[in-house]
Amino acid sequence: MKKVHVFNAGPCLLPQAAIDNAIEALRDFKGTGVSVLSISHRTKEWDATMDECRALWKELLHIPDTHEVIFLGGGASLQFLYVAMNFLERKAAYLDTGVWAHKALKEAQGIGNAYAIASSADRNYSYIPKGFEIPGDLDYLHITTNNTIYGTEIHEDMDCPVPLVADMSSDIMSRPVDVGKYALIYGGAQKNVGPAGVIFAIIRKDALGKVSRYIPTMLDYRVHIDKLSMFNTPPVFSIFVMNETLKWLKGIGGVEAIHRIDNEKAGLLYDEIDRNPLFTGTAAKEDRSIMNVCFVMAPGYESLQDEFFAYAKECGMVGIKGHRSVGGFRASIYNACTAEDVKALVSCMQEFAKLKA
């Protein structure tokens, strides 16, 4: 079989160790004789997996005791509603950096007073807005730290005078995070830490209980904290694979180690984009994502787009087509994507340029 190099934006490429362990658990979960697909979430074996997964999150991100970690079903899009239900009382602001940030704002506006504090829509979300003032009377400021469609990323934890809420769906566990600066960090697992079907939420416990509205039971973070993420049946298989993925990450040196690796991978690809006359990047250089590298054919070479897609496919490249709203190309180089995968894409771009020279 031809070697393939997976750059899908999500679900992400998972480490082979996690996949292999998941295959074994499908046959027999921890010696129970029961498949992980059929195991009861009320067994001691499953309790141990949940405890281990929670502990790995806390260890890898150095999460302080002020915060708790929970796992819920559904995607990050449902969390847009959770955020507003649990935190919005008077007024909230959102940093509008792309499609998902805009959708999060829309959900909040259905609950109460929420607005865009700054936006990069004027240049098709190709940069991260800077220099905006944050009013001190906000219930929270919401940011999306990495924008998968546009290839931009907030690289540092901002100082914020109000509770800070962050959707980190697509860059969680790719860099060290000062969790103490956030009231809430949430995201879907399928971009970097597991398969689709489960979300993580890291919540500062004393930030909850501030709203006067009734919160439906399933939308109340406090319920899920109290019940250790098992108020209802959790997405067992997705959490199992998440746990295996985090075990792999710890084994290679943790978040600090993968941050160096991810930066090196991104540097290889961005250097080629900047060097190769056939391609050009779409994101502002200071805001380039180390997770989602977006680029297009350079001016004068636009007619070669379909030809390059075909050539890249022949070379084994999978998932490099850009989002339909921006076109071009996107290579998602999440944690499990290897330097060898990135080097193969770079070689593909170089060989194509030689053919067209």
Residues with a catalytic annotation lie at: 100, 167, 191
3-state per-residue secondary structure call for 145-187: CEECCCCEECCCCCCCCCCEEEECCCCCCCCCCCHHHCCEEEE
Residues 183, 179: Cα–Cα separation, whole Å = 8
Comparing C-alpha atoms, which of 293, 61, 91 is closest to residue 181? 61
Q: What six digits make up the tokens of 154?
A: 């907030």
Helix (H, G, I), strand (E, B) or coil at 324: coil
Q: Dig out the tokens for 310 from the structure.
A: 């075909």
Euclidean distance between CA atoms 196 and 198, whole angstroms: 6
Amino acid at the residue 162: V
Residue 6 to residues 271, 302, 340, Cα–Cα distance (Å): 20, 24, 11
Q: Is 131 exposed, middle or buried (0-12, 13-18, 19+ CB in 10 A)?
A: exposed
Query: Are the C-beta atoms of residues 185 and 140 closer than 8 Å to each other?
Result: no
Rounded-to-integer distance, Cα 104 and Cα 169, Å: 13
The residue type found at 306 is: D
Angle at 275 between CA 149 and CA 286, to 5 degrees: 45
Task: Tell me how far apart the alpha carbons of residues 138 and 122 are, in angstroms, rounded to a whole number.
Answer: 25
